[in-house]
Amino acid sequence: MIQETHECRECGSSNIIKNGHSASGSQQYHCKDCGAHKVLDPEPRGYSEEEKEKILRAYRERGSKRAISRIFGISRNTLNRWLKKGREADSVAEGLRSAEEGDTLELDECWTYVRKRSNKRWLWVALCRRTRQVVAFVIGDRSARTCARLWSRIPEDYRQAKSFSDFWKSYRPVFAGDPSHRQVGKSSGELAHVERFFGRLRQKLARYVRRTRAASESERMLHLTTKLFVEWYNEAVT
């Protein structure tokens, strides 16, 4: 009788046991010597750019990582790697249309949370009224310090534009003495485009829906998911 012996891919030990299957159906093992959890005999597979875009589009359409893993047979670790690739930086300047004289910026914030509701986070956005593109965003608390971070992320050419915000107190110390900035009420219509952006955001990302029970696992993943949406949105409105 011929028996096939398998070895751990990490340490080479044969002291391994079966440990379920991966999302793609491959046999996994657990090594009792080094503690590794790996696929027994991984099949090399590459994803075309079309497949990647299709999977990321499903993620933008409010598909959860678990659902996407089941539907497409892709591991959540692979999906996480795609989300992180090229999106660690905060800037969204690449792909923005050039600023023009007479441009107007609309500034506003949107609430969400990380892991639990008491851990509140706010998405601050600066949107150009002419192009409809998001020229900068930051995620943090609702203080003047985060507002200052948003202003510092706005490309220099766009900082010369007029800007509008609501009456939240954190805007006052950042724009004190700036005649090109005005604080207005929501009913004025001066913030209509950024409010429309937040409506679109809530349609696509469940974690930003009011009274949502969907939460980000970490601030890093909240940033990466938000930047993925902003990149798609900026491209879609051009």
Comparing CA positions, the residue from 194, 224, 202 lying closest to residue 133 is 194
Q: Write down the pTM of the prediction.
A: 0.72
- With 60 as the cut, is the pLDDT of residue 111 above it? yes
72 vs 129, residue with greater confidence = 129
- With 90 as the cut, is the pLDDT of residue 18 above it? no
Cα 124 to Cα 118: distance, rounded to the nearest angstrom = 19
- With 70 as the cut, is the pLDDT of residue 89 above it? no
Q: Classify 138 in phi/psi space as left (phi over 0), alpha (psi -120 to 50) or beta.
A: beta
Beta strand extents in the chain (DSSP E only): 16-21, 27-31, 37-39, 104-113, 120-128, 134-140, 162-165, 181-183
Cα 68 to Cα 147: distance, rounded to the nearest angstrom = 35
Q: What is the pLDDT of residue 125?
A: 97
Per-residue confidence at 66, pLDDT binned at 50, 70, 90? confident
The answer to whether 68 touches 55, Cβ cutoff 8 Å, is yes
Per-residue confidence at 65, pLDDT binned at 50, 70, 90? confident
- With 60 as the cut, is the pLDDT of residue 6 above it? yes
Which residues are CB-contacts of 136 (< 8 A; sequence separation ≥ 6)? Answer: 91, 92, 125, 126, 150, 153, 154, 155, 158
Cα 178 to Cα 48: distance, rounded to the nearest angstrom = 50
Q: What is the pLDDT of residue 87?
A: 63
Comparing CA positions, the residue from 66, 46, 65 lying closest to residue 56 is 65
Residues 191-219 have a mean pLDDT of: 88
Q: What is the pLDDT of residues 181-201, one digit of tens each?
A: 999 998 999 999 999 999 999
